[in-house]
Amino acid sequence: MTARATDAKNRRRISVAEITEEATVGSVKKAINRHLHYQLVKDRNVASNRDYYFALAYAVKDQMITRWFRTQQHYYQTDPKRVYYLSLEFYIGRTLSNTMVNLGVVSSVDEALYQVGLSIEELEDMEEDAGLGNGGLGRLAACFLDSMASLGLAAYGYGLRYDFGIFTQRVRDGWQLEEPDNWLKFGSPWEKSRPEYAVSINFYGRVENFDGGARWVDTQIVLAVPFDYPIPGYHNNIVNTLRLWSARAQDTFNLEFFNHGDYIRAVFDRNTAENISRVLYPVDNFFSGKELRLKQQYLLVAATLSDIVRRYKAMKFGTREAIRTNFDDFPKKVAIQLNDTHPSIAVPELMRIFIDLEHLDWHEAFRLTVATCAYTNHTVLPEALERWPISLLENLLPRHMQLILEINWFFLLEVANRWPGDSDRMRRMSCIEEWGERRVNMAHLCIVGCHAVNGVAAIHSQILKDTTFHDFFEMWPEKFQNKTNGITPRRWLVMCNPNLAEAITGVIGDSWPVNLHELRGLEKQASNKELLTKLQRVKHENKMKLAAYIEREFQVVVDPASMFDIQVSRLEMKFPSLKCLHIS
């Protein structure tokens, strides 16, 4: 094994000397009963499957707590460079099964439930899908979190804790019905609120300019309250964190209005603030220029960057703690990845923190911002690229609009020096679109304010270079990269198809879930009749399960021996329509 490979392997694992008790069958049963009695206050006579799901989830979460502590302590003591992944969506799906797989406790839990007469499949069905994402952008973010934890990277995800996720889809009398997705109706066993780390977020107001700086004053304040979710790595004792922000009013209740009988105004501020994180927007491939959407984006960015700077300042020299006041090392310790343009307001927000709060020189602040931030582009469609009206930004975020104009001014000076007299190029590349209603092109702002730009597939990245951002590619070819979307084999093979995963492990060993290239070893088994027979048996068993599900849910009997051709997607997306055309 090479030195680099050995280092990577060591980095992927944290030694946890005092880990929680091993998840034996007996300890799992004891933990489930403990949580059922003392946390849910239920006994076996009245407990439902949902109660047992929560008890099981808490029991599995117990296995993560010490690992979670140790991981964060390790990061604090070693002070590594940290990755911060900002995304308006995290399509994490269900957590229980994935967590059991990554912790290696599936067999113990399965046997424990069997002994007490419970079905693990039935309890898994009790879990609501986390309403935090609706498409590929959010799923990519979730896969990155899983992968970074499994690789042992000091990484954090940051998003919003939506009260209502993507709508619940029903079909009645041949028509699609959309209902609210109240995924938090019964709470989530995986989250931990951290009100002590709440951050004050400013909106509206005005800017006071003075010699040497500016002040953003007379603002409306909303609190961003964090909720933390553990993200376990695969068999390596590492548990990273997904921090989701929930909007709260600074003053939740106005007693004076209430005493005068104005009950609506008494809770007006609370409702206005909480609306920011109330609902996940249902589409991620079309730009919708709504003020509430911009409020969501800024609350995510402002709360996250405040958290990042707080963590950067907290230092530890051996046993001595100190506050880091010098920002020269900021890009060496902090990497901020913007998942699409939704968190793009991070560029002027980081500038505001450096200039207004930390009193850095403007050009030094911009250098640090560019060196810290990177941008992932998800679409080349013009209608999906965010363009915020300047009038809206000036009203909602006046200081940021001021900084965007300054960034664009210095950028256009650079373009003019590179291509003298080419006014058309300057118009095309400007962050400010002057025709019609003046708007800020947030994709252009990301390219100017970040050190790296990547697409999510080779052909996508090439289109960005050749057409969508060709002018920028000519100016900064070194910025443009490709990062092809991938998926985590832990969730999409080990968890989703455990029998197939077991068959593969029996042939090539058990390290392929973290070294996917090892699946190439299956090519040598193409003529292994015993393996091929086993794979056929696994496939037939899965088809029998699906046939049973279809009969149970839709009263339609299908032959498991027939060929299954399946497309799973929401009805309003194009894929089901294409599948219907294919069938016809």
Please write the tens of the pLDDT for every residue from 126-141.
999 999 988 888 999 9
Whether 398 and 291 map to the same domain: the answer is yes
Last residue of a domain, one of 427, 459, 482: 482
The mean of the pLDDT values for the chain is 89
pLDDT, tens digit, 9 for 90 and up, residues 385-405 = 899 999 999 999 999 999 999
Inside any domain, residue 150: yes
Asked if residue 512 and residue 402 are part of one domain, the reply reads no
Whether residues 285 and 323 share a domain: the answer is yes
| pLDDT at 323 (0 to 100) | 83
Q: Determine, yes or no, domain membership for 318.
A: yes
Out of 422, 453, 482, pick the residue that ends a domain: 482
427 plus 459 within the same structural domain:
yes
372 with 513, same domain: the answer is no
Higher pLDDT, 257 or 505: 505
Among 482, 514, 546, which residue terminates a domain?
A: 482
CATH of the domain at 143: 3.40.50.2000
Q: Is residue 183 part of a domain?
A: yes
369 and 458 co-located in one domain: yes
Nearest to 269 by CA among 247, 243, 301: 247
Evaluate if residue 6 carries a pLDDT over 80: no
Q: Is residue 115 part of a domain?
A: no
DSSP H stretches of helix in 419-451: 423-429, 442-449
In a domain, 415, yes or no: yes
Residue closest to 333 by CA, chosen among 315, 359, 306: 315
Q: Is residue 39 part of a domain?
A: no
Residue 217's domain comprises 79-93+129-482
Rounded-to-integer distance, Cα 347 and Cα 355, Å:
12
Interval 426-442: pLDDT, tens:
999 999 999 889 999 99
Structure token pair of residue 76? 């604090």
37 domain-assigned:
no
Chain centroid, CA 475 distance in Å: 31
* Residues 505, 456 within the same domain: no
Q: Where are the alpha helices (DSSP H) in 79-216?
A: 96-103, 106-115, 120-124, 136-151
Tally of structural domains, the chain: 2
Average pLDDT rounded to a whole number, residues 551-563: 92
Q: What angle do CA 472, 477, 483 make, to 5 degrees?
A: 100
Reported confidence tier of residue 154, pLDDT bands at 50, 70, 90: very high
What pTM does this model have? 0.91
When pLDDT is averaged across residues 48-55 and rounded to a whole number, the result is 97
Whether 188 and 333 map to the same domain: the answer is yes
Sequence-ordered list of residues with C-beta below 8 angstroms from that of 442, at least 6 positions apart, any chain: 341, 344, 345, 385, 386, 387, 388
Q: What is the pLDDT of residue 169?
A: 75
Radius of gyration of the chain (CA): 26
Q: Identify whether residues 473 and 552 lie together within a single domain.
A: no
In a shared domain, residues 396 and 537: no
More confident residue, 316 or 453: 453
The confidence band for 2, taking pLDDT boundaries of 50, 70 and 90, is very low
pLDDT higher than threshold 60 for residue 1: no
At a CB cut-off of 8 Å and minimum separation 6, what does 95 contact?
57, 127, 130, 190, 229
- Alpha-carbon distance 177 to 571, whole Å? 11
Q: What is the mean pLDDT of residues 31-50?
A: 95
pLDDT band at 581 (very low <50, low <70, confident <90, very high): confident
Based on the fold, state whether residues 324 and 422 are members of the same structural domain: yes
pLDDT for the residue numbered 315:
73
Q: Does residue 327 form part of some domain?
A: yes
Check whether residue 458 and residue 543 sit in a common domain. Answer: no
pLDDT of 582 > 90? The answer is no
